[in-house]
A and B are shown apart, each in its own frame.
Chain A
Amino acid sequence: MEKFEKLTGIAAPMPLINVDTDMIIPKQFLKTIKRSGLGKNLFDEMRFDDDGNEIPDFVLNKPQYRNSEILIAGDNFGCGSSREHAPWAIKDFGIRCVIAPGFADIFFNNCFKNGILPIVLPQDVVDVLMKDAEKGENARMTIDLEAQTVTTSDGETFGFEVDSFKKHCLLEGLDDIGLTMEKAASIDAFEAAASAQRPWV
């Protein structure tokens, strides 16, 4: 997994609440058997019209936000399905960090498995960041995972919380499965005990 340490980039404002995974990546793009190449279909039905032409009003189609690396979003971002195609599409587009007042549980977890940092901040802080993002491409925001801070283009800094294990994995770019396999003895022991207690499982 790609490491996430520090990121300075353009932030795109997307204040809509309840952005669901069907919006992030519609189902017709789930038929792939690969993880890559979904960025061109990110937010497909919001980004393109029925003929495949760009909808100019959509934030990521505006010239100043085409190279966004951060997304400032409304509450409950990523609700809906478990499709990991959603974070795959976000990452493939080039976005490495999403900041919102809240995320749906499965999407939130999926982000960490793909080198994307989802940050939860109170609505009033997100409002400040949204305003900063609305300034466009000159307003670069900085995310420092080690220090757990977001800094606006004006130099205003906000701290954020992140699970210590998830932070460690992102900073080091660690593979979860490899880490778990180091605990194989614990799993073996549990499995032996459980199959004695609940042999019908």
Chain B
Amino acid sequence: MSPKTLYDKIWDAHVAHEAQDGTCLLYIDRHLVHEVTSPQAFEGLRMTGRTVRAPEKTIAVPDHNVPTTPGRDDPANMTEESRIQVAALDTNAREFGIHYYPVSDVRQGIVHIVGPEQGWTLPGMTVVCGDSHTATHGAFGALAHGIGTSEVEHVLATQTLIQKKSKNMKVEITGKLSPGVTAKDITLSVIGVTGTAGGTGYVIEYCGEAIRGLSMEGRMTVCNMAIEGGARAGLIAPDEKTFEYVMGRPHAPKGAQWEAALAWWKTLYSDDDAHWDKVITIKGEDIAPVVTWGTSPEDVLPITANVPAAEDFTGGKVDAARRSLDYMGLKAGAPLSEIAIDTVFIGSCTNGRIEDLRAAAAILKGKKIKDGIRAMVVPGSGLVRAQAEEEGLADIFKEAGFEWRLAGCSMCLAMNPDQLAPGERCAATSNRNFEGRQGRGGRTHLMSPAMAAAAALTGHLTDVRELM
């Protein structure tokens, strides 16, 4: 047999039909659904008299719109439009008989945090969701990617997706990370190297000692932003850490099935002489704590750097950088560490897991945030929130001056009431710094939870290593 990559192996195990031109029907093992990109798909099923082919493989949870303040179970506390979307998901989940975690359920949270937490996401699976950050699940060695609403309808009706195979890219992070450097710094630094289109047409496999050294939470952070580099999906080969994380979760296999699953999962790695269409290697020790300065996730620099000038770039990026600097209200040459902020947001499917909250709390412990800063922590799920409370992290955040919220996507995309005002500047642990992403006119700097906590203490972008 010819050597294969991890992506090749998962792909080959899921092709239900292949046409002569290479167009395939890829079988989907898990379909995650949320309230924003699914109403039109369910409506499509109704209009055509179709049904959900595999409701037992379909999991729904409201996350994008939901308020993160107390009393949110009361529909009166949602805007009319949000209420309608959440109510539609409620109705669709019940009518089509799919698994569902309503807002009132402690297991509710961001779909990409709930899936792994409940053991829905397993190695070697194909996982899709009408959300680009589905790439998160690749941390388990699952082929996971975002799809549009028409494809959501297609998967609901047929449990397959029409696909052509992507190319293979290897991103190796060698060696060890320096203190203060986290999974977020890895994933942002990779995008800084590839650009936001560098991954287009590829599935990325992240590997190397620094990746192996990450926890499952860290690996999810890395894969989460594969889409920000343009890749269809990001993957990390499963290992003992993966198996340990999965074991005992509510929907993970048990007993003899666990043993059978484990035997297959252990074959899920890229063969030594597998073919790679593109290889990128970065030394772990060369990665510093980073922040973004512009309005694209590729606008990444170490916190010790200065704001670049538009003229530092070439081609179409010159105009784009000029537009970014203007939007962000930044002057070329100013140290990044002197940029004053108004708001701190810790949360999202990128950095809303327990390890992220621990990292931020470690910086905040016994300290107060700078006067006048608005800071909030939005745990990624009700269970992350409960665990953080049990570990005493919630008290650290509250005593430091952070708001301690309920689970949801919140200010990552500002579809709920958590938004930036025009001109307001935010240190955010989320994944996109696009114009208007966190609110019209809002200015977003992406960074790790530890870096966001450091910024909350000083009131400006800060090298977390100075506070360690």
> Complex: how many Å from CA A87 to CA B151?
13
Decide: B160 and A180 in contact? CB cutoff 8 A. Answer: yes
- Cβ of B317 within 8 Å of any chain A Cβ, yes or no, is yes
**Which residues of B are found within 8 Å of A102, using beta-carbon distances?**
197, 200
**Neighbour of B148 across the interface among A45, A79, A84, CB < 8 A:** A84
Distance in angstroms between the alpha carbons of A80 and B131 in the assembled complex: 10
A76 contacts B150, CB within 8 Å? no
How does the 8 Å CB contact mask read for B70-91 relative to A, with 1 for contact and 0 for none? Answer: 0000000001011011001000
CA distance A196 to B29 in the complex (A): 14
Q: List, in ascending order, chain A residues with CB within 8 A of B25's CB.
A: 180, 183, 186-187
Interface assignment of B158: CB less than 8 Å from any CB of chain A: yes
Tell whether B130 is near chain A: CB-to-CB under 8 Å. Answer: yes
List the one stretch of B169-177, B256-264, B274-282 in contact with chain A: B256-264
Are A79 and B230 in contact, CB atoms less than 8 angstroms apart?
yes
Decide yes or no whether A146 CB sits under 8 A from chain B. Answer: no
Could you tell me the distance between the alpha carbons of A23 and B324 in the complex, rounded to whole angstroms?
13
Counting contact residues on chain B (CB < 8 A from A), the size range is 35 or more
Identify the stretch in A26-34, A60-68, A133-141 within 8 Å (CB) of chain B at 4 or more residues. A26-34
Contact of A106 among B132, B252, B257 (CB under 8 A): B132
Given contacts A76-B200, A82-B130, contact A201 B122 (CB under 8 A): yes
Counting CB contacts under 8 A, is B43 at the interface? yes
Closest A residue to B16 by beta carbon equals A190
The answer to whether the Cβ of A109 comes within 8 Å of any Cβ in the partner chain is yes
Any chain B CB within 8 A of the CB of A163? yes
CB distance from A105 to the nearest CB of B (A): 5
Query: In the bound complex, how far is the Cα of B148 from the Cα of A16, in angstroms?
Result: 24
Binary A-proximity of B21-39 (CB < 8 A = 1, otherwise 0): 1010101010000001101
Q: Contact flags (1/0) for A97-120 with B, using CB distance below 8 Å?
A: 000001111100110011000000
Q: Does B323 contact A (CB under 8 A)?
A: yes
B232 at the interface (CB under 8 A from A): yes
| 20 pairs from A and B in contact (CB 8 Å cutoff) | A16-B316, A16-B320, A18-B296, A27-B413, A33-B40, A45-B440, A50-B441, A81-B146, A87-B148, A105-B232, A106-B227, A110-B151, A113-B150, A177-B158, A180-B154, A181-B157, A187-B25, A190-B15, A191-B27, A194-B27
Give 12 new A-B contacts, CB below 8 A, not counting A26-B436, A76-B196, A200-B252: A22-B437, A27-B413, A30-B64, A35-B149, A50-B440, A75-B316, A87-B148, A180-B25, A184-B158, A186-B17, A194-B27, A200-B258
Which residues of B come within 8 Å of A, CB atoms? 13-17, 19, 21, 23, 25, 27, 29, 36-37, 39-40, 43, 48, 50, 57, 64-65, 79, 81-82, 84-85, 88, 122, 124-125, 130-132, 145-151, 153-154, 157-160, 162, 164, 196-197, 200-201, 227, 230-232, 252-253, 257-258, 260-261, 264, 296, 298, 315-317, 319-320, 323, 413-415, 422, 432, 434-437, 440-441
